[in-house]
Chains A and B, each alone.
Chain A
Amino acid sequence: MTESPTPLWEVFIRARTGMAHRHVGSVHAADATMALQAARDVYTRRGEGHSIWVVPSAAITASDPSDKDMLFEPAASKIYRHPTFYEVPEEVDNM
């Protein structure tokens, strides 16, 4: 096994016009053109997509799961950021 590994790409697909691209999986390919072709063959055999992005996996920076509390706890404690925190008088009705 002296071969160098073929790079890994993450695949994002837009299922329908109007929707965001969503991560669906990954493929190995030597370059971007081949990655797009492989992604088409592997992830859109049933008309799952209208548009594909491929991104070198090495180019993705991800948060560390152990930083979860530090990163996301502040959002949970600021309950005043949600509309349900405020009471609206019944007379005012919809707001």
Chain B
Amino acid sequence: MYTQAMDTAPKEERAAIRSADEVVAEEVFERALDNEGFIEAKDWMPEHYRKTLVRQISQHAHSEIVGMLPEGNWITRAPTLKRKAILLAKVQDEAGHGLYLYAAGETLGTSRDQMLDALHTGKAKYSSIFNYPTLTWADVGVIGWLVDGAAIMNQIPLCRCSYAPYARAMVRVCREESFHQRQGYDSLLTMMQKGTAAQRAMVQDATNRWWWPSLMMFGPPDSQSQHSDASMRWKIKRFTNDSLRQKFVDATVPQGHYLGLTFPDPALRLDEVSGHWQFGDIDWQEFRRVLAGDGPCNRERLAARRQAYEDGAWVREAALAYAARHQPRPRREAA
């Protein structure tokens, strides 16, 4: 998903030697997990759990922030004022989601600057999906429908993640995410039902380009996923990549058919016995290539983020200098 790189990173060994105190603390921690309890920021947690979460939450946050770029590309060219206002609100939401998540990451003892630095130096990953270009206006609708649809599948279980600050952030994210999917579908419905033949062809073309990358969002197949076991045991992850991917396909294919679209997969067919939509092989070579930095837009995206950060440096410095010079004015009393 937004943290699919988690599954491709090499496995790390746990420290073998632990103190007696740590053994006791770990028992308390394990018991909390067994009882479906939550871990709070100041609770004891194994170092590996903390590291895994920092990586996952920061990747998730980076994905939200980088994810503003492909759609932001169309704000000035939205076809109507209504669509422009909707798109602005959606992109603003993505910024908000990134900020909720950075804040959740910071509760684990890593700083915002460290996380941003990891993104800007290419050390941290973000979702492969945002390295594809948005070529036409139909891409904006298809992103809402497919990309945000896939995100919802993955994010709803994260609301029950064992790390409470992450779970709380995800509750807020999920509340806002369904608007994102619906606005996308609504835009596609308008084009398919009231549009010209050229506009319908544009929607089909966008669907053809985004379908496979959307399926890749769920990460590598369970058989190749490196970290699923630990993440499942720690209740950071609740469902496997393949099961969520299947759930997404089952929900999405009928929605596409309702729009009057086809999917770029000749193997796609409904299995009458299981009730599931079977789909063809995913190009995992492409997935790994894009994740490793060699997708259509990787360089452009990272360059845009770096430039935004550097261009904003004088604003941050000026704000701090202003704050240092002006004593805080007495504000209205808390009430």
Contact = CB atoms under 8 A, between A and B. Distances in A.
Contacts of B328: 31-32
A15 interface: no
Given A3-B313, A25-B103, A34 B176 contact: no
A62 interface: yes
Given A31-B326, A62-B42, A6 B100 contact: no
A1 interface: yes
17 contacts: A3-B313, A3-B317, A4-B320, A6-B112, A25-B103, A25-B168, A30-B323, A31-B322, A31-B328, A32-B328, A34-B319, A41-B92, A41-B96, A42-B96, A42-B99, A45-B176, A62-B42
Interface in B298-335: 313, 316-317, 319-320, 322-323, 326, 328, 331, 334
Contacts of A32: 328, 331
A14 to B, nearest CB: 10
A26 B106 contact: yes
B47 interface: no
B186 interface: no
B100 A25 contact: yes
A46 interface: yes
A65 interface: yes
- Pick from A28, A29, A41 the residue with the most CB of B within 10 Å: A28
A6 B106 CA distance: 13
Interface residues of A, number: 24
B240 to A, nearest CB: 30
A64 interface: yes
Given A26-B106, A27-B103, A30-B322, A45 B169 contact: no
Q: Is the interface of B mostly helix, strand, loop or mixed?
A: helix
Contacts of B326: 31
A53 B331 CA distance: 11
Interface residues of B, number: 32
A34 B321 CA distance: 13
B319 A31 contact: yes
B43 interface: yes
Contacts of A62: 42
Contact of A27 (B43, B99, B111, B322): B99
Contacts of B40: 65
B228 to A, nearest CB: 29
Given A26-B103, A27-B103, A32-B331, A6 B316 contact: yes
Interface string A64-93: 111000000000000000000000000000
Contacts of B103: 25-27
Contacts of A34: 319, 323
A34 B328 CA distance: 11
A64 B323 CA distance: 32
A3 B112 CA distance: 12
Nearest to A63: B42
A5 interface: yes
A5 B113 contact: yes
Contacts of B93: 45
B49 interface: no
B96 A1 contact: no
